[in-house]
Every structure is written in structure tokens, then in C-alpha cells.
A and B are shown apart, each in its own frame.
Chain A
Amino acid sequence: MAANGRTGNGETGGNGPLRRTVKVVNPLGLHHRVADRFSRAARQFAAAVAVFHGDSRADGKSVWDLMMLVVLPDAEVVVEVDGPDAAAALDPLAAILGSPGGEDYTI
């Protein structure tokens, strides 16, 4: 499913979904552990979280979905958050994909 209305770098405000394009700089790409960390973080928020890569969409709260996006190092993805705490969710979630050590987390 394509990300209709995706606006690249533009972040929409108000009541609509917020989106941000992020370059995945992890040297292994969006691999299993990064996906796990991202989905765990996403589940902390009430907002719906989606990640788009090309024409594919993943539920940001599902580690399996994220892995199946097949995102290689340096690829760009769009993080979309939609819900009451969307504004608070966007920064930390985007940071997980946009930082090199996304798998070094403590649970």
C-alpha cells in the first residue's frame, strides 16, 4: 500500500498524521534487533505508527512487519505517527532509525 499524501521531509501538524523521512544509517540496515527496539518503543505510544519503504508499509509496532520491509543500510524510510501522542512519538522513533547504534539498547 502506498503512503498516500506522504510529504517527504515536511511534517504536518494539527490533527493529521505526522511524517518524517529518515535515512537508516545503521550499518546492518533495519535488521532484527533494530526492528525489535523500534517496535518496543512504538508500543509505548497510543498513536498508530507506520514505516514506509518504497511501496511497502509496515506496522511500526510489529517487529516482523518491520523486518519484512527489507531495508538496507543508507535507505530512506518514512516514519508516520497518527494519534494523540504523535508529536511526542515522532522524535524518539525517528532517532532509532536515524542513529548508527540502534540495536544497542537496554530493555
Chain B
Amino acid sequence: MEYRYGTAVSPGIAIGPALVLDTEGVRIPNKLVPADQVDAEVVRLRGALDDAASEAREKRQRYTARFEPAIGNIFAAQQSAFEDPSFRDRLEHLIRTQTYSAEYAVSRGIREQVKKLEEAQRKVGDLAASEVLRRRAGDLIDLEKQILSTLLGQVPNAVAPLGGDRVVILANDLMPSDTADFSPRTVWAFATESGGPTSHTAILAGALEIPAVVGVGRFLTDVSGGDMIIVDGNEGKIILDPDEETVRKYEAKRIAALNRADRYDALRGKPAVTHDGVAIRLLGNIELAPEAAHCADRGAEGVGLYRTEFLYLNKSSDPTEAEHYDAYRAVIDEIGANRPVVIRTLDLGADKFSSVSGLLSVEKNPFLGLRSVRLCLRKVDLFRTQLRAILRAAAHGDIRIMFPMISTLGELRQCKTLLNEVKEDLDEAGVPYKADIPVGTMIEVPSAAILADVLAREVDFFSVGTNDLIQYTLAADRNNEHVAHLYDPADPAVLRLIRTVVEAAGKAGIDVNVCGEMSGEPLYTPLLIGLGLRSLSATPRKIPEIKRVIRQLSVAEAETVAGQALSMDTARQVQNLLRDQLRRILPEAVE
């Protein structure tokens, strides 16, 4: 049994057999073949190695002619490896003694060596030597990939489609093409070696509500297809080869969570109204159209934040207007034409990366750099494309538009000017769209919060993005372990800014919503309502829990909590206060 730690990106617990995808998403088929197929399997292996060797030979000739012998020699060396009797004996031995499939023998045989290099890498203190070893491991994985693709190419049927038993998907990272067919019916969980909270895998897992842990570091060399594995998406760990007791313990946790979900299910049809009769609007945060259905399922009134970055991720070109439009229409189709959908324009940069050409250069200080709306105002064509699609889609539903990362009034005005220009273009072209689309701005930079009264005159609504607001207010990156402790939603400085924003919105008579992670944490629900918020937007799975807190709370109580919190000096004091409150209101949510 072995524990590995990564970043928890989608909560939940899963226990199931591993399905290992290699870096290119090739499924490594079953581990074993029947004993009477061993000879045939050896023949397959030899054929694949011969093919891989002749392919390498051709490449060597081609590249030597085009470049220089040193480049060609890379392929010469690969050819030698494929032809090497010692290597071949080793793999054939694995097939004959273990009845491994050819694919599995290749993977296992090579990964054993990769592991050896990784162990050596851990031992050397020297950075240069470590890099030398890392590159060698990369060379070996490249060999593995080539042989596997030859093997799988020969016998395409060796790759059975996903189906039957549910599996835990393990991969270096997942590409959109790998994940197209994944669903909670076929996949228990994901765990990947690379990737962070904003990686494709993380976003997808969140959207599908499949437990996931990313950024685990190299572990695929230690797992074989079919091995039992536990993924703990709550705490960001995976357990390889768990013992029986551990399986029992996690199975109990999993069932407890399912029971909790069932209990909240009963709340679906009930309104989000406080004890003393004040209605709170609950909305969902989404990134993909199917999640809009989750919002409706969980009793959300609409979509409070539709993040559109996913349209740009992992693509070789910018999304077209049609792609934008189709995506937005799909959300309307999922949730219904009369429910609000707040579309946030592109918020790319800093922690989110795209392969969109020429978009991002290396910045010294990306969080204070050309990101989000700043990027859009620089890449105006890109921005116009999105604005056109939003305006057109808005003709078919209750779509609202929201600009992220606004830090000055000038920026907001530039965005609005551009929006008006796009409207004029649509008018001229005679394309139907919604002229009076509500326009809002995110409040996530302290300057915007401080100037909220000024910004409020220019928009129809505010949405407080707490993640960035907290990070910029406290100048602390929560992903940086050295300063993460400073990042605290309960910090009195943050609370004062939120209060300022809510008051400014109230005076101007515009809506204000909170859409950061803070609004999805039951701990902060009484505080936010006490601060005057009547609209919260959270990840769909959190909505029943938030609703439960709301229904057991009175506004008077909430205001008392907020008043006390605002009078406190430190985040720690506020945290203690909020925990005490929540323990009273919803004991099972406090752990």
C-alpha cells in the first residue's frame, strides 16, 4: 500500500480498478493473455519491434539527409534499442513467465527502467545530473510509446472500448480527445501526474462531478492496469494497492457521502428562503454546457457564472464565433430560456494557459500582468468575436454579460464602447441579437471594490470574485505554500471590501452577487447574507448544502454574525466565530 499526494480538484471518493492511459492516451490493454496465446504474443512483440526498428531506420535516413548526422543518430540509437537482443529477451521473458500481453510487457519492461532512473534522480543532489537522468527517462518513454503505437496499430481491436466495469483513469495528463467519452457511468475517478487546479482534467472532472486528484508527480510506473486504487478527491491523495482495512474505511466514507447527498436531495424542490422569509437567489458556476443541467438538478435558479476559458484551452486556434455561439446556445438549451445565464468574457492568463497563438508571452509577474480583460482589450478581434456571439445568443435566452478583472473605470468604459460597436456591426448586418443585454462587472481587484460606487453607475450588476479579490487584497498566492496562510476569505480587510461593494450596489439599486469559492462554502453563508448579499453563485454540487444553511438561518442572526465579524481584528477570530455559528446551524458540515 502506498500513498501519493497531489492537488484535490474535484471532491469525492472512488475505489476501483485502474485504467492506465499513456501520455498519448493510448489505452494499455489487459495485463495478461491466456497461457496458450503466449507464443502468438511473442510473435506480435517481435513483429512490432521489427516494425519500430525499420521505422527508426527510415527516419534516420530522412533526418540525416535533411539535417545532420547528429540528428539522424537519435533514430539510429532508437533502432539499436528495438533490435537489441538483451532488450528483446527481457520483454519476451516477461511474456513467457508472467503471461503478460505484449503491450503490458513493453510497458512494464520499460517502466521498470524508467523507475530505476527516477530513483537515481532522487538520489543525486546535483541539478544538472538530475536533468540528465530526467531526459534519459524521457528517451525511454519515447521508445515505449513507439512500440505501443506499433502494437496497437497492428491490432486495433486490442483496445477495447470503455464500457462494462467502471474504472479509475490514470494518466500523465488528459487531453480533450481522451476525455470525450468519459462519463460518471464509466469512470469512477481521475488521477494524473501533471496538471494543476486549472488543467483540462481538473475542469472536466469538476464539470462531470467525478472525483479527481492532479499533479501527483510520477506514479504511473508503479501501477498496472487492473490494480485496485483509491482516489480521495477531498484530500488530494491516491492510494496504490490499498490493504483490505483501508478499502473498508474508504468504502464507508464513500457511502456516508452518498447518504448525505440523498438527504440534501430532498431540498431540491424547496425554496432558498431564510427562516424569517427572505429569499436568497442561488445560482451555479459552470464551465461546460452539461453543467447547466446540474444547476437545474440541484435547485439553482440559473447560471451565475459561466466561465468561457474552456473554449480556448487546448486548442491550436482561437474559437470561432460559431463555436462560441453554439456553446452559449447549448447552455440555454440545458437550463431553459427564462433562467439567467451570466457569461463572463474571456478570463485567460496568469494561472490559466491557452495554446492560442501569440497570446501569452513570459511575464515576470503574470498575476499583475496582461491577463483577463486586459488581454481582451489588447486582442480586440478575439474579444469582438466573443461579444458578437454572446449578443446573438442572448436573443434566445436570459443571457447577461460580465467583464472580469476590471481595475479602473476606463477599462470598463472601453469594454462597453467595444460592446456598442459590436452591436452597431450586428445592426448593419441585420443579424438578430439582444440590444438591451444586462451588463455587469466582476469586482475582484481591490481598486474596483474601493471605487464600487463609481462603477455601479455604469453597470446593471456586480459579481464579487472572491478568489482574486482575496489574493490581491492580501497580496498572497494561495498556491504558494510559503504565503498561502495569508490567503483567508475571513480576513477583516476582505470583509470590509465586500461590505463596501454591497453598500455601493444597494445605493445604486443594482444587483450584487458573490461567485468566488467563498460563496460555495457553508461556513461563509451566514456572513455573506449578514453582509447584505441576496444572491450567491456556487459550484452546482454545493448548492443543496448552501440552501440547507440558508433555510435554517434568519437574516437577523446573519446580520449579528456579520456585525461581530466586521468588528474583529484578525482572520483567525472571524474563522472561529463562523465555525461556532455553523456548528450550531449545520453540525454535519463542520469537520
Interface residue ranges, A against B (CB under 8 Å): 28-29, 31-33, 35-37, 39-40, 59, 62-65, 67-68, 70, 72-73, 103-107
Contacts and interface: CB of A to CB of B under 8 A. Distances in A.
20 contacts: A31-B135, A33-B76, A36-B73, A36-B77, A36-B81, A40-B80, A62-B86, A63-B77, A64-B81, A65-B86, A67-B113, A68-B113, A70-B117, A70-B120, A72-B124, A73-B128, A103-B70, A104-B69, A105-B69, A107-B73
Nearest to A35: B77
Interface in B80-131: 80-81, 84-87, 90, 113, 116-117, 120, 124, 128-129
Given A68-B116, A103-B70, A32 B132 contact: no
Contacts of A105: 69, 73
Given A64-B84, A65-B86, A70-B133, 9 more contacts: A32-B77, A32-B139, A37-B73, A39-B80, A62-B87, A70-B117, A72-B120, A73-B129, A107-B76
A33 B136 contact: no
B116 A67 contact: no
User: Interface majority SS on B: helix, strand, loop or mixed?
Assistant: helix
A87 to B, nearest CB: 26
Interface string B308-323: 0000000000000000
Interface residues of B, number: 27
Given A28-B135, A59-B86, A105-B73, A70 B80 contact: no
A27 to B, nearest CB: 8
Contacts of A39: 80, 84
Nearest to B69: A106
For the complex of A and B, the 9 pairs showing the least CB-CB separation, nearest first, are A36-B77, A64-B87, A62-B86, A64-B84, A63-B80, A33-B77, A36-B80, A32-B77, A64-B86
Contacts of A59: 86
B74 interface: yes
B164 to A, nearest CB: 37
B110 to A, nearest CB: 10
A31 B113 contact: no
B221 to A, nearest CB: 15
A65 B84 CA distance: 9
A32 B70 contact: no
B86 A104 contact: no
Nearest to B124: A72
Nearest to A63: B80
A31 B86 contact: no
Contacts of B87: 62-64
B72 to A, nearest CB: 8
